[in-house]
Structure 1
Amino acid sequence: MQSTTSSFTMRALLVTGFLSITITSTFSVAKDTNTESETCSYNEVEMLELSPREFDQNLEKGWREVAKAEACREAAADLIHTYYTKNEISKGAMRTFVWHEGQLRAEVGQYQRAISLMKQARKPPEKDMSGWNYYVDATIAFLQSDREELKTQREKLAAVPKPEGFNPTDADGNPIELQWPLNLNIVDKFIRCFDQAYSEVYTECTAEK
């Protein structure tokens, strides 16, 4: 895997955050509250004081800053877990946080832990207008090496109608163009790259159907 998070990965993580708002730790905490693991370091107190949006969506703050280095993906996942454990956040934000923690766990090969987290990221069916749950279940099927279930969830996602008035924006309120159905391109990569690791699907896999 590349030494830093690919732009594709970061965009994918960022978009899921907008649309859903919806192992023992490997680092130690020093007396000055700076947390370190190999090349990873951050101030836990400052991290926990960030707003949920700052912590999750700002590329220069929060867990994304920690996750820029490949060796720090697990530390970033641990940081997300610490953040939502020690802060009071909304149900929608919780779905986002457990999803992003799950993605990071999957990137470092912790598939079972990732699956458990991702299951918690499902929305109530009546509130899922974008096929989010199909994307979640497709991702889980990929991690479980269940090709048939992955294809089933892909077809369900592909059939989701685009809602009227669908006008997505970025964190600053600027309009952004997204292909519909959302995340279908990622699910298609899961199918094309079925025999690859989760991390390779987002960075290195170039397999054809």
Structure 2
Amino acid sequence: MDEMDIRGKLMEMLTDSGALLEGHFLLTSGLHSGHYLQCALLLRFPWYASFAGEELAKLIKPFGPEIIASPALGGIIIGHEVARALGVPFIFCEREDGRMKLRRFPTPEGMKFAVIEDVVTTGGSVAEVGELLKSMGGIWVASGCIVDRSGQNGFAKLPGELLSLAKMSFPVYRPDECPLCGRGLPLVKPGSRKR
């Protein structure tokens, strides 16, 4: 399957699962948007999660990761699927007192790892996991996601290119310039990360 076929199939899955939301959303960055990707709705279907994991694993495989790591909560399912497809172990980091911690797993000292997330906007969570595991002696070789919304904006400090199945860009607005606020649409804070 070529890149266009994969992106087309993924877009069908995002639409079919209800993961591509429209409304008035408060993003973690503090900006507002009329669109939001809730990949948990996509990943609730095991066959969609398997497809995304296998295709993302094909992009990650050339980097030779010995372990896959993800930020909790959004990256857990897709990270596990990528690890399954590659036949390597999976670990995740979780927030404790506002900072990522590796609590349940042995440190990946001396191991090559890739960080996998569902959707990347600023890359903050991916970078935080990668830097934490590097500080524990891991070797950060790649980063990937289902959908890259970063627009390669330079927010993320990741080694090399962010690998993804699709790139998407939606308009975002400062709260004082938001046309959705001007229309009186209710503001919703989606996702798992508290601002």
TM-score, L = length of structure 1: 0.30
Query: Is the strand fraction higher in 1 or 2?
Result: 2
Identify the structure with bigger relative contact order (alpha carbons < 8 Å, sequence gap 6+): 2
Q: Which has the higher helix share?
A: 1
